[in-house]
A and B are shown apart, each in its own frame.
Chain A
Amino acid sequence: MRQLEKIEYKPIPVSELLLELKNLSELMIDLAYSAALFNDKELAEDVLELESHIDYMTYLLDIEIMIAARDAKDAETLIGVSTVASAADKISDAAADIAAIVTRKIGIHPIIGEIFEKVEERLMKATVKKDSIIIGKEIVELDLAARIGVDIIAIRRNKDWILDPNETEKIFLGDTLITRGAPLGIKEFKNLAEAKIKKWSTKSDEKKSRSV
């Protein structure tokens, strides 16, 4: 029989748990597809780890919900919260299923991965090449979300993956980056990372002043 870890109750606000569940479950989908299509075992294993963290959070959230219900009306609206949390949990399960394709060595036909990279518009892998203007920059300085609608979801450096990197993380030569976001934006970013272009098409402060 599988021993499940005893979960200690911690009073984390429900809104925080939900927020984290939403963010993490969506991140996991993108990471899992990336792992499967780029056939990356380490990334797939990281996704499986995140999955158990989601289980933990869903469990905590259910405890909180039960504590919070004072009457039938309360309970009814809280069931909605629990349903949404369990749906996010199911999404993360699906991501884990995708990751398992890689960890169980079933794999996906290599040609599929190749074609996928051409047709998929939301996910992209890029390796930082010499002379790229993003080398040495912190993620926050690149201002990707505001500038081109792109987010770096994972960085591979020296065989390890850094998932959902901090804003202060710096980009190094040789890093492999997985990005998601707007189709044009990720294309531009790939070209910048691979030093095929040396200039942004939009300046981030220009864009800000325009929108004010």
Chain B
Amino acid sequence: MKKNQEVFEEIVQRFVELKNTSELMIDLAYSSLMLNSAELAEEVQHLEEHMDELHTEFELLALTSNFKKEEASGFLGLIRLGVATEKIADAAAEMAEVVLRGIEPHPVLKIAIREAEETVTQAYVTNNSPLVDKTLKEARVHEDTGMWILAIRRNNKSLRPKPYTKILPGDVIIASGYSEGASDLRKLASPEKME
């Protein structure tokens, strides 16, 4: 029984990774449209490839978990959940392709994304920001503003956020969350600049 529990835990961990990656991709895809950023769009494409690998691993794990006959239906449900995450990831990749075509996205897209309940935003980090020289773990941006950091743009490169990534002046933080948090984040990143 215990062994079973461990297998289940591993399967769920993998599934949560699929789910989170597909949702990150949607946020990044909307960000790439809003900011007309080819780098972010490319990041979405990379993640799409990564998703394919994760998904295969997840399916193999589910199929080799020695479930009993009466559990087959429950496992089929799980596999279908995985397929759905893949579908979501594909949709995000299609959105990102709009940017990669090299035509400036229609302004109406920007309006819709900015005004949505869950929005994406970018915040420029100035010298006097309390975030400067803190690692993402120390900066506690998510706890303080409710915004998820999706990417950091530095010297025209887009970095994937890691707990030990240090925030430097001049960085542009790209984040998603409720619009209430977006202005909090911008004030935190560039304190003197009011919206």
Residues of A near any B CB (own CB < 8 A): 14-15, 18-19, 21-23, 26, 29, 32-33, 36, 76-78, 80-81, 83-84, 86-88, 90-91, 93-95, 97-98, 101, 106-112, 115-116, 119-120, 122, 145-146, 148-151, 181-185, 211
Contacts and interface: CB of A to CB of B under 8 A. Distances in A.
Contacts of A78: 106
A18 B108 contact: yes
A84 to B, nearest CB: 5
B106 A86 contact: no
Contacts of A77: 103-106
A18 B109 contact: yes
B53 interface: no
B63 interface: no
A149 B178 contact: yes
A109 B75 contact: yes
Interface stretch (B140-148, B152-160, B161-169): B140-148
Interface residues of B, number: 64
Contacts of A182: 142-143, 146, 177
A211 B187 CA distance: 7
Interface string B38-79: 000000000000000000000000000001000101111110
B109 A115 contact: no
B33 A101 contact: no
Interface of B is mostly: helix
Given A23-B117, A149-B146, A36 B77 contact: yes
Given A19-B116, A109-B8, A81 B106 contact: yes
A73 to B, nearest CB: 9
A66 to B, nearest CB: 14
Given A83-B95, A98-B81, A108-B77, 7 more contacts: A87-B91, A111-B4, A145-B178, A149-B142, A149-B145, A151-B117, A181-B178
A80 B146 contact: no
B109 to A, nearest CB: 6
A106 B115 CA distance: 38
B26 to A, nearest CB: 7
A63 to B, nearest CB: 15
B167 to A, nearest CB: 18
Nearest to B67: A109
Interface of A is mostly: helix
Given A23-B117, A84-B109, A182-B142, A112 B94 contact: no
A57 B153 CA distance: 35
5 contacts: A93-B87, A106-B80, A109-B71, A115-B9, A182-B142
Contacts of A86: 94
Nearest to B183: A211
Contacts of B113: 22
B23 A115 contact: no
Contacts of A33: 19, 81
Contacts of A151: 117, 178
B132 interface: no
B108 A14 contact: yes
A19 B104 contact: no
A98 B78 contact: no
A34 B187 CA distance: 34
Contacts of B94: 83, 86-87, 90
A211 B184 contact: yes
Contacts of B15: 112, 116
